[in-house]
Each structure stands twice: as structure tokens, then as C-alpha cells.
Amino acid sequence: MSQPSAGTHPRSRVGARAGIRDVAAAAGVSITTVSDALNGKGRLPDATRSHVRAVAERLGYRPSAAARTLRTGKSGLIGLTVTTYGEEPFTFTEFAYFAEMARAATSAALDRGYALVILPATSRHSAFDIWSNVALDGTVVIDPSDQDPVVTELMRSGIPVVSDGRPAGSLPVTAWVDNDHEAAVCGLLDHFAESGARRIGLLTGTSTDTYTRLSTTAYLDWCERVGQDPVVESYPAHDPCAGAVAADRLLARPDRPDAVYGLFDPNGTDLLAAARRYGLRVPDDLLLVCCSESTVYASTEPPITTLSLKPGRIGNTVIDLLINAIEGTGRGGPVEQVMPTDLIVRTSSQRRPARTTVSPPRSPRADE
């Protein structure tokens, strides 16, 4: 007792943040009691519990996240990464799809007590290995590529990985969520046909990801089923101008289509501009649908029908599956979840704007 301010350990600094020891000393209880009181764990009378809480509040005590993570093995952090196309180092919010998906995922994670960490797709970004420098409970990967080394490494370390988009090849993931691209394309092409399209073209990037592959295959299958020759133009996806050129090329063909589906976000405006150049009226001479989450297509001239992949719903589902895997809530084994899409019918895909007595094409009901 003659020692100057010596507790169990002689290190209660004045300037430093209050630790659990300081709270214990100030409340006149042990460290165990403080921990139990704050976490609602042990068997303590309410009096002690509220007393400890009051003291902790008074001292402005904040538990050290690092110490808790080290002890419990759970950080409350979830990695989020987007596979980059082309050369751009970081295309995080390039497309409206990614932005909305990330927004929904962030919100859903926060609702369950987790926070998202934005990480690069490549393992070694600028000589640091960021991935092993942050303690992750799990990771969300948007559009993983074949044999993604980061995903492989994470899974090998026992960290759950849930991907948005079917994993290509034999990439092992804990679970994945994807749209039903076949159904989406078939429904959309049927919608074209109902509007009187005789020859439907496809505009797509030369990407090898599953979205492009599945959609293209579905288009070709549909063509074979109804007996139409495919009319496809593709372009290198990383070139920002190539899309406009390909749209032009598509409308310049001798077998010019009377309806076009654009697989990527900017295709809508590109196709609209190309149609204008060739003097084609939309929708009278050319029907148009584009896969996009952008709201600009509601106010183009004319408004363009879009296929929405519902990224918000995907983001929520991905986070739910991942947190279930982290907390062991869900059942084991890989989980695959296929989600419906939403065709937002606007002027550009309806030949006669509801002037006849014939029932107009039904738009799929929008749930949620």
C-alpha cells in the first residue's frame, strides 16, 4: 500500500485510454466482473452490473477491438472485392450494379453487426499484402475469375467466401448467389417476339465471365428453338469506345436486326445513338432492351426497357449466406442460390404503345 498508485499491475497511465483494468479498479471489482457485466455473460446481480456499466460510461471506456479479436477469433469484418476488368486498378463504383450491390451489402452487414472492408482483387497491391494484414471473418467476392488466387488462399485458411456470380471453373467457394440468366434472356426475347420482332440481335462484350457466357448461350439456344439465325456483334469490353463502334456495326449489317438486346450497361445509349445515325426510329423501326441498373434509361428519348438484375436483393442474400456460414447458423455444404431478374418495360420495346385492343405485353410482376 506504500507503493505509489500500484494496482495489480503498476501501469495505469494518465493520458492513455481507459482499459478494463482501470474500470475494475474504479468500480472496486475484478477484471472478470467488468467483462461479465459489460458482455452480459456471468451470474451477476443487477446492482453490480449497472454499477460497473455506470463506471465504465463515466470513464469513457471502449473495449479494444484488437484484443477482443485476438481472444475471440472474430473481428466483425467482412471483405468486399470486385474483380477488375481491363486495366483499371479499381473499378469499385464503375457500374451502377456494383454500386447498388455494395450499398445493399454494406447495409445488410451493418444490420447484423458486421462492417465491410473494401479490398483489391489482386493479392499484392502495391507491395503490401493487404489481405493478410486485416483480420476477416469472411469475404464477399463479386464476379470472381477462374482460379482466383485470393479466393483459393482464403478458403484454404478456413475463411468463408461467398461470391456474387457463379464461380467459374472449379473455384471453391462457401456459397454463391447469381441471377437466373437463362430465364432472364428467354423472357426478354419472348417479350421482343410478342412485340413483333422478327430478327433479334445481340450486342455483347468479348468477356469470358459466366454472365456473358450464360446469356450468350441462352440467346443462341433461343434462336435455335424458334429457328432464327443469330445476329451477334461483340467487342473488347475494356475499350470504352468499342461498344459504340460495335453498336454501329450491328445496325450496318445487311441482315440488320429489328430488335437488339445489349448485354452491358452502356449499350443502351450506344445503340440509341447508332439508331439515330441510321435514321431508325425507336421503337417503330428498332426495338431495344438493355441490361442495366442505371436510372438514366427512364428519361432517355425514348425511355429504354431495361433488364434489372436486382443487385440490392443479391447483396442482401450474399451477406445473409456469408454471415450464416461465419456463425455456423446455416447448414453445411455449398449453397447455391439463383435469384430472379426484373424486366422494366418502357417505350423502346413495345411496337404499338397500347393503342390497340390487343392486350399489351405483360410485364413480370415486381415482387419485393
Partner DNA sequence: ACATCATGCAGAATCGTGCCTCCCCCTCTT
Partner DNA sequence: AAGAGGGGGAGGCACGATTCTGCATGATGT
Chain residues in the site for DNA (CB under 7 A): 8-9, 11, 16-17, 19-21, 28-33, 35-36, 38-39, 41-45, 48, 61-64, 67-68, 70-72
Which residue is listed with cell 431495361? 306
Positions of E strands within the chain: 77-82, 115-118, 138-142, 161-164, 175-179, 200-205, 231-235, 259-262, 287-291, 305-308, 335-339, 342-344
- To a copy of itself, the closest distance from the beta carbon of 136 in angstroms equals 8
Counting contacts by CB under 8 A, is residue 135 touching a copy of itself?
Answer: yes
- To a copy of itself, the closest distance from the beta carbon of 31 in angstroms equals 16
Counting contacts by CB under 8 A, is residue 64 touching a copy of itself?
Answer: yes
- To a copy of itself, the closest distance from the beta carbon of 330 in angstroms equals 21
CB 246 within 8 A of CB 233: yes
**Would you say the C-alpha torsion 11, 16, 20, 25 has a positive or negative sign?**
positive
The one among 52, 119, 223, 286 contacting a copy of itself by CB under 8 A: 119
**Would you say the C-alpha torsion 215, 221, 222, 224 has a positive or negative sign?**
positive
Which residue, 16 or 358, has its beta carbon nearer to DNA? 16
Q: Which does 21 bind (CB under 5 to 8 A by kind): DNA, a copy of itself, none?
A: DNA
Rounded to an integer, what distance in angstroms lies between the CA atom of residue 263 and that of residue 339? 18
Counting contacts by CB under 8 A, is residue 304 touching a copy of itself?
Answer: no
How many chain residues are in contact with a copy of itself, going by CB under 8 A?
A: 50
- To DNA, the closest distance from the beta carbon of 53 in angstroms equals 13
The bridge status of strand 161-164 relative to strand 175-179 is parallel
Q: Which does 9 bind (CB under 5 to 8 A by kind): DNA, a copy of itself, none?
A: DNA
Stretch that binds a copy of itself, among 27-35, 115-123, 204-212, 358-366 (CB under 8 A): 115-123
CA distances from 334 to 148, 150, 356 (A): 18, 19, 50
What's the grid cell of residue 263?
448485354
- To DNA, the closest distance from the beta carbon of 64 in angstroms equals 3
Q: Which does 217 bind (CB under 5 to 8 A by kind): a copy of itself, DNA, none?
A: none
Which helix (H) or strand (E) segment is 301 a member of? none
3-state percent helix, strand, coil for the chain, nearest multiple of 5:
40, 15, 45
Peptide bond into 4 cis (omega under 30): no
Rounded to an integer, what distance in angstroms lies between the CA atom of residue 249 and that of residue 265? 18
- For residues 88 to 107, the per-residue mask of contacts with a copy of itself, x marking binding by CB under 8 A and - elsewhere, is -xx-xx-----xx-xx--xx
Which residue, 125 or 199, has its beta carbon nearer to a copy of itself? 125
Per CB under 8 A, residues contacting a copy of itself are 17, 60, 62-70, 75-77, 89-90, 92-93, 99-100, 102-103, 106-107, 110-113, 115-120, 125-126, 128, 130, 132-135, 156-158, 269, 273, 296, 299, 301
